[in-house]
A and B are shown apart, each in its own frame.
Chain A
């Protein structure tokens, strides 16, 4: 339901529309709500980025694979955001600074190697995170237990391509290394503590680094040596500060809903 409909419904309480009843109150509150929303934003924004490959991927098969992954992430986002409010309002009516996704997921697709590097960094992280959440129990455990299987496949997809690009031609090796290097500075933010999550994120970094290193080295590539965050941007996405291209991503994602409030098909 849109803001307009909402005010209309409020103005006419005698006729509560079906849409008004749909709007569920958030299940979570306080820091737990903020944490779930941050994870939901991660999934939503990455789904949107991956969706940009639809019709543009190097081959038809990869087009389907990437959008499949996007749809998995979109499903996770819907569940997570629904726990924290109305999913449509949250996705379509928030401004840039209200999104708390990590900056890694909003980075542009670049060439295929950049997309794969982003997928590798993020899916290894997400698999560790969901495994920990499922073990931890609590409100996010059911989602995490289901999503961990999806994410394991995303990780496998990213690994397979990292191996092939890294150990492929001279050109694919060069591009894959360049992509790993370029995105490295956004990986530190993933392990910033997230209050209300119940999972010790900084503690996951060691296993993440082990897994990523194993894949990268097998692909004859090198783990980037620079800092895994920039001093001025550490944790910035989680605080609502985003990189330049994020505004354009939101504009594309939100345009239809804002131009035609409540449109459905």
Chain B
């Protein structure tokens, strides 16, 4: 864990909460930053969103993710991403975003005869 100490120092102080639960002087509401967790369940599949958790820094987020989301051998790889780095589409924009796709049936591969013997289509 070379170079860990500097990062951990900032992680601990920016959390606004010391480890025993007493709020630090510069409290940020007593909450650690939120992280989104992505787990690859096995080789060949892509990472998929498993959930979210709180952690003081990325290293601890990985470890917490291991405990929370892979304890029943669900994964072979974990990503953690700060939730603040996620830009999400707004529910208000749902129509302009998604509705136009509905009347373009030619985008769906439904005009093909599936040859016999081809599985998983």
Residues of A at the B interface (CB closer than 8 Å) are 58-62, 64-65, 68, 111-113, 116, 156-157, 159-161, 163-165, 167-169, 171-172, 175, 218-220
Contact = CB atoms under 8 A, between A and B. Distances in A.
Contacts of A60: 54
A64 B67 contact: yes
B1 interface: yes
Interface in B53-111: 53-56, 59-60, 63-64, 67-68, 71
A60 B52 CA distance: 12
A172 B12 contact: yes
Interface of B: 1, 4-5, 8-9, 11-13, 17-22, 24, 32, 53-56, 59-60, 63-64, 67-68, 71
Contacts of B32: 59
A230 B27 CA distance: 41
A112 B19 contact: yes
Contacts of A168: 8-9, 12-13, 18-19
Contacts of A172: 12, 18-19
Contacts of A175: 20
29 contacts: A61-B67, A64-B68, A65-B67, A68-B67, A68-B71, A112-B19, A113-B20, A159-B1, A160-B59, A160-B63, A161-B19, A163-B4, A163-B5, A163-B8, A164-B8, A164-B11, A164-B56, A165-B12, A165-B19, A167-B5, A167-B8, A167-B9, A168-B12, A168-B13, A169-B13, A169-B24, A171-B24, A172-B12, A219-B5
Contacts of B17: 58
Contacts of A161: 19
A231 B11 CA distance: 41
Nearest to A175: B20
B60 A160 contact: yes
Name the prevailing secondary structure of the A interface residues.
helix
Nearest to B2: A218
Contact of A164 (B19, B53, B54, B67): B19
A175 B32 CA distance: 20
Ranked nearest first, the 8 interchain pairs of A and B with the lowest CB-CB distance are A168-B12, A61-B64, A58-B21, A112-B20, A112-B19, A164-B8, A111-B20, A167-B5
B12 A156 contact: no
Contacts of A68: 67, 71
Contact of A171 (B18, B55, B68): B18
Nearest to A111: B20
Contacts of B5: 163, 167, 218-220
Given A61-B67, A65-B67, 15 more contacts: A60-B54, A61-B55, A61-B64, A61-B68, A65-B63, A112-B20, A113-B20, A160-B8, A164-B8, A168-B12, A168-B13, A169-B12, A169-B18, A171-B18, A172-B12
